[in-house]
Structure formats: C-alpha cells, structure tokens
C-alpha cells in the first residue's frame, strides 16, 4: 500500500506534520478506468493520518472537477465516507457549487456518499439538504416534485430546456442511483429527513400508486417505513397516503409487498381504517391474483361479525411484532461487536478473535434456535398424526361395533322366525296326536258297547 501511495504512509510515520508533494502517478490512478479500482480499495483501508494528507493534496480544492469526472467520481465517493468532522464542512461547501452539474450529468454517487457521511457523523445535515434542493430548484419548505426529480435524473442532460426536462421526467423510468440517494436522505436525523416525507405527501394519489408499483421506486417507500430515524408521524402520513386506494395498491406484484409493509407498520387504529375502507371491495380483492392474499391477512369477515375480537387479535399481533423487532435490535446492537471499539489484536488473516468468537456464538445460537423450532414442529406433527390415527381407530371400532349390532339384530330376527316355525309345527303335530287319541278312544268305546250288546242277545 505504501508503494501505491508513493511512500505516503512511511513519510507520515517519520514526520506526521509534513505534507508530501503531489505525484503524477497518483493523479493518473485517480482518473484511469482500471487503476481507479485499486485506488478505491486503498482509500477504504488506509490509515486515518495518511488519508488526511491524501485528501488535502489530491481532493481538497479539486472537487468541482473530480466529482463530475466519469471515472474519478467513484474514488471521490469512497473518499467522502472517510472524512472527519473537520474536513467534512469544507467538502460540503465545495460540493454546493457542483451539485447541479452532478444531477444533470447523472454523477450522483458522490452526492449519495456525502449524504450518508452527514448522517453518520451528524455534521452539516441541514447544509447538505439545502444544497440538494437548491441544485434541483426546489423549495425546502414546499418540496413539490423532489422525489420525482431525484428519481428520474438519468433522463436529464445539459442543453435541455425546462419543458423538455419535465417531459423527459414524466417518461423516464426511475433510476437506481436516485432511489439510493433518497434512501440515504431518509437516514438523516429528524427534521432533516422530513423533506422527503413532505414531498411524498404532496404527490397526487395516482403518482403514489405508480411509485409503489415500480420495483425501483418502491424501495423508497420501504425506507420511509423502516428507517429508524423517521418519526412515527411521518410513517403514519405515508400509510394514510394510500387510504382509499389500497385495493389498487395491492393489485400488483410489487404493490402487494408495499401494502404488506404498510399493514405491518400500522397501529391498530390505522389497521381498522384500512380494513373498513376495503370492505366494499371484497369481491375485487378476491378476484385479484395478488390482492386475495392481502384480504386474507385482514380477516374482513371477522371484522364484520366480531369487531371486538378482531381488535384484540390485531393488538396481540402488534405486540408480537414489537417483541420481534426488539429481539432483532438486541442482536444487532448488543451482540454484534463494533470494530471501531474492539481492542483485541487482529489475527494474521485480518480477523479479530472477538469477532470470530461473536460470529461463532451467533451462528451456534441461530442453529440451536432453528433446531428447536424444527423439533417443535416435528413434535407437533407427530402429535397431530397420533391424534388423527387415534381418532381414526376409534371411529373404525365404533363402525365395527355398529355393524356387529346390526348383524346380531338380523341373526336374532332370522332365528326367531325359525323358532316360531319349528314350535308351530310341533304344536300342530301334538294337536293331531290328541285328536287321533280321542278318536281311538271313542272308537274303542263304541266297539266295546257293540260287543256287550251281542253278548246280551246271545
């Protein structure tokens, strides 16, 4: 690294106060399409002291040319992220003169890095916002069209008139660089980030819908809802901006995702307003390929039948979401070590022992949590399967018992008929026998009487 910087690091170690003379070699690296990538990496990883000298010799006072250079602007963007509190205000004042050209020539990378650095060190945030609005010709207090102008700066160029520029703005698709700049502006501390929120609130409803249906510009709305520095009032304004048109918002592949984000970040009162506004459009949502999933999440039938139970369910879901966010913040801010405050010695491979240990512990904990969740899911599946099999076996036993009872009834009926026939035959035969016996007895008596009469006659 010292050879690439022409001995700047070794010279700083020997005499920190001396300023090295400029080198044509570094000036060539700064503007070369291939070698500039190497210089970007050097700027990102070089020590702070030599970087201050590099900034004063090669960047300070030359930003009006370097920031709009087709190659050097990438190195300038990386250099802005290393500025300290003393050098940053001077860089902002110098960039104010060239911001208009940066937007017209679509060199937005240095502007985005400038905004990110202002939000990181909390220095000159108001000056950066004022400079951007002034370069675009927009009033800070009434920023009408700020989002549209930043998103479609790719289509503007030098030599266009005002009408031609507006026509190009209405037809050009949103640019990725413009979306990244707006997301960086939303990470500034309040009230400096409110200029983007106010610009969104001043949009027409159709423009808001078009903004949410585009895969690039929709990320700006995500940043409005998820930025930790945007106030609750600003997020409510974004959610209320789509009230009355959520059926159009969610009837799209990208818009349905934005609708889900709005629903997640809405409080129970706003959720009820959104749900009641969609009750007349239940059939439209049910027929929509994407809207039906959003309607299923709202549980509109439960809201109509049992409003109190629906409100309790929404409050409980909001508590679960807040607990989840708190857990994520706990992991992000407490368990992940900060490399700036870490005092452990680095390894040979460049990684610190504490970083490796923390990453390993986080990985083990995430693995354990995943295994616990998988085990719980498997136990639930096994229990469900056992309950289903027990229910099925009990049902089978009941069916078999019922069939046996029906079979026994049929057998009893059959045998009762056989018994009746058998006993009826026996009784009939007994009656015939009695009649025969009685006839025999009467015949014998008559024969005996005849014999007595014959003997008397003799």
Instruction: Please indicate, yes or no, whether the overall pTM of this predicted structure exceeds 0.85.
Output: no
- Mean pLDDT for the chain overall: 79
Q: Report the distance separating Cα 76 and Cα 377, nearest Å.
A: 52
Query: What pLDDT shows up at residue 18?
Result: 83
Residue 46 has pLDDT above 50, yes or no: yes
Taking only the tens place, the pLDDT of each residue in 182-235 is 999 999 998 999 999 999 999 999 999 999 999 999 999 999 999 999 999 999
Evaluate whether 151 touches 176 at the Cβ level (below 8 Å): no
Evaluate whether 129 touches 190 at the Cβ level (below 8 Å): no
Q: What does the pLDDT average to over 46-55? A: 92
Position 156 confidence tier, pLDDT thresholds 50, 70, 90:
very low
Query: What pLDDT shows up at residue 180?
Result: 96
Query: What pLDDT shows up at residue 371?
Result: 55
Evaluate whether 268 touches 314 at the Cβ level (below 8 Å): yes
Taking only the tens place, the pLDDT of each residue in 398-456 is 766 666 665 555 555 555 554 445 444 444 555 545 555 565 555 555 566 666 675 66
- In degrees, rounded to 5, the angle at the alpha carbon of residue 409 between the alpha carbons of residues 404 and 413 is 145
Evaluate whether 160 touches 168 at the Cβ level (below 8 Å): yes
| Nearest Cα to Cα of residue 79 among 30, 16, 129, 122 | 30
Q: List, in order, residues 6 or more apart from 68 with CB less than 8 Å away.
A: 98, 101, 102, 105, 107
Evaluate whether 42 touches 58 at the Cβ level (below 8 Å): no
What is the residue whose two structure tokens read 């015939």? 432
Query: What pLDDT shows up at residue 393?
Result: 67
Neighbours of 452 (CB within 10 A): 10
Angle between helices 125-136 and 109-121 (to 10 degrees): 150
More confidently predicted of 169 and 152: 152
């Amino acid at each position: 690294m010292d050879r690439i910087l022409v001995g700047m690091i070794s010279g700083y170690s020997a005499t920190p106060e001396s300023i090295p003379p400029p080198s044509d070699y570094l000036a060539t690296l700064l503007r070369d399409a291939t070698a500039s990538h190497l210089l970007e990496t050097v700027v990102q990883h070089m020590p702070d002291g030599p970087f201050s000298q590099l900034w004063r010799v090669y960047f300070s006072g030359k930003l009006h040319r370097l920031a709009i250079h087709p190659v050097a602007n990438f190195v300038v963007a990386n250099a802005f992220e290393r500025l300290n509190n003393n050098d940053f205000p001077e860089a902002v004042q110098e960039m104010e003169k060239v911001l208009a050209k940066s937007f017209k020539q679509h060199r937005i990378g240095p502007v985005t890095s400038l905004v990110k650095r202002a939000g990181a060190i909390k220095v000159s945030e108001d000056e950066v916002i004022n400079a951007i609005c002034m370069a675009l010709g927009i009033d800070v207090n009434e920023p009408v069209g700020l989002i549209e102008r930043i998103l479609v700066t790719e289509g503007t160029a030098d030599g266009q008139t005002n009408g031609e520029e507006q026509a190009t703005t209405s037809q050009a698709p949103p640019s990725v660089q413009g979306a990244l700049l707006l997301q960086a502006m939303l990470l500034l501390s309040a009230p400096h980030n409110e200029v983007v929120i106010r610009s969104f609130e001043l949009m027409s409803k159709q423009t808001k819908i078009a903004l949410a249906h585009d895969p690039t510009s929709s990320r700006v709305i995500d940043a409005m809802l998820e930025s930790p520095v945007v106030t609750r009032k600003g997020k409510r304004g974004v959610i209320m901006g789509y009230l009355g048109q959520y059926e159009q918002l969610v009837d799209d592949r990208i818009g349905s995702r934005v609708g889900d984000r709005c629903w997640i970040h809405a409080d129970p009162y706003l959720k009820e307003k959104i749900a009641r506004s969609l009750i007349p459009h239940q059939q439209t949502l049910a027929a929509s390929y994407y809207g039906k999933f959003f309607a299923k999440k709202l549980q509109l039938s439960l809201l109509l039948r049992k409003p109190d139970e629906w409100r309790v369910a929404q409050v409980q879901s909001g508590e679960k979401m807040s607990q989840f966010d708190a857990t994520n913040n706990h992991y992000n801010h407490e368990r992940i070590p900060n490399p700036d405050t870490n005092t452990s010695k680095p390894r040979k491979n460049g990684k610190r022992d504490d970083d490796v240990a923390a990453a390993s512990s986080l990985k083990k904990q995430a693995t354990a949590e995943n295994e616990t969740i998988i085990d719980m899911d498997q136990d639930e599946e096994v229990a469900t399967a056992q309950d289903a099999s027990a229910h099925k076996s009990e049902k089978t036993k009941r069916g078999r018992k019922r069939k046996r009872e029906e079979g026994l009834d049929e057998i009893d009926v059959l045998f009762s008929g056989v018994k009746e026939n058998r006993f009826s035959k026996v009784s009939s035969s007994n009656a015939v026998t009695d009649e025969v016996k009685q006839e025999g007895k009467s015949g014998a008596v008559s024969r005996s009487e005849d014999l007595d009469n014959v003997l008397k006659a003799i």
